[in-house]
Amino acid sequence: MATWASIDLQDANSPMMEQLMFFYDHTMMILTMISILVSYMMVTMITSKLSDRFLLEENTIETVWTIMPAITLIFIALPSIRILYMMDECVSPMMTIKTIGHQWYWSYEYSDFLNMEFDSYMIPTKELESDGFRLLDVDNRVILPMDTQIRILVTSADVIHSWTIPSIGVKVDGTPGRLNQSSFLLNRPGLMFGQCSEICGANHSFMPIVLESVEVNQFIDWLQKNYD
């Protein structure tokens, strides 16, 4: 999860987030090279008193500074398009979970398991335990098995919400009257935190998301407890 001193992306906990981080590093490297080159040229032009009369009107140099940016954009666009197609694909999900946004809490339905459903509210600061996370912990966490292809369906009961967990690279808008879907796979066990990423009213900042990734056996035990 992000801490107060963190300025970088959160650690990836899904293959999709790993790809997004690779693309981020790829793009930042290109932007850094462009910034250094442009800065060098600006400093050189400002500090030099000389001028080249052939640069004032020259078709060759204009062709070069038109083609080079186009090639640079291609190097950025191709990996971006690949990731967009990967995010849209939902290949043979092993389980499906539905989440519904409300003002201002989330409700979840495990439709594959006898329609088990529950609401998830933020724990107020006064009721928070000493090891809890302020404004992030909830009373009912989303428990999901690791190494399992999971499909999530997102909708809303009132206004537009957005179900977002940065560490797995998922951000799905919850729109009233519409089902949006995404898929992900959890690499390892642990807690992942997220928040509604669409301004949805007065308590928009107080509807966090907590996803707990566990091993398959622990997930089955949790299901049996809830059935009992």
- Is 4 contained in some domain? no
Q: Classify the C-alpha dihedral 42-43-47-51 as positive or negative.
A: negative
Q: What pLDDT, in 10s, does the model give residues 87-125?
A: 777 678 888 899 999 988 999 998 887 778 889 999 988
Instruction: Please write the tens of the pLDDT for every residue from 34-60.
Output: 999 999 988 988 888 777 666 666 777
Hey, what's the torsion of the CAs at 137, 142, 145, 148, to 10 degrees? -120
- CA 86 – CA 45 distance, rounded (Å): 44
Residue 52 lies inside a defined structural domain of this protein: no
- The crossing angle, in degrees rounded to 10, of helices 59-88 and 15-47 is 160
- Are 71 and 144 members of one domain? no
Query: Domain range for residue 70?
Result: 15-47+58-88
Cα 101 to Cα 122, 160, 203: the distances in Å are: 13, 8, 13
Tokens of 119: 């609401």
- The strand pair at 105-110 and 95-102 is best described as antiparallel
Give the phi and the psi of residue 3 in degrees, each rounded to 5. -115, 175
DSSP string, 16-30: HHHHHHHHHHHHHHH
Using CA atoms, how far residue 25 sits from 28, 30, 122, in Å, is 5, 9, 34
Q: Residues in the chain with pLDDT < 70?
A: 1-4, 52-57, 90, 227-228
User: Does one domain contain both 175 and 160?
Assistant: yes
Q: What share of the chain is helix, strand, coil (3-state, %, to 5)?
A: 40, 30, 35
| Number of domains, the chain | 2
pLDDT at 133: 83
Give yes or no: residues 113 and 221 share one domain: yes
Residues 117 and 212 in one domain: yes
pLDDT of residue 82: 87
Please indicate, yes or no, if residue 6 is contained in any of the structural domains: no
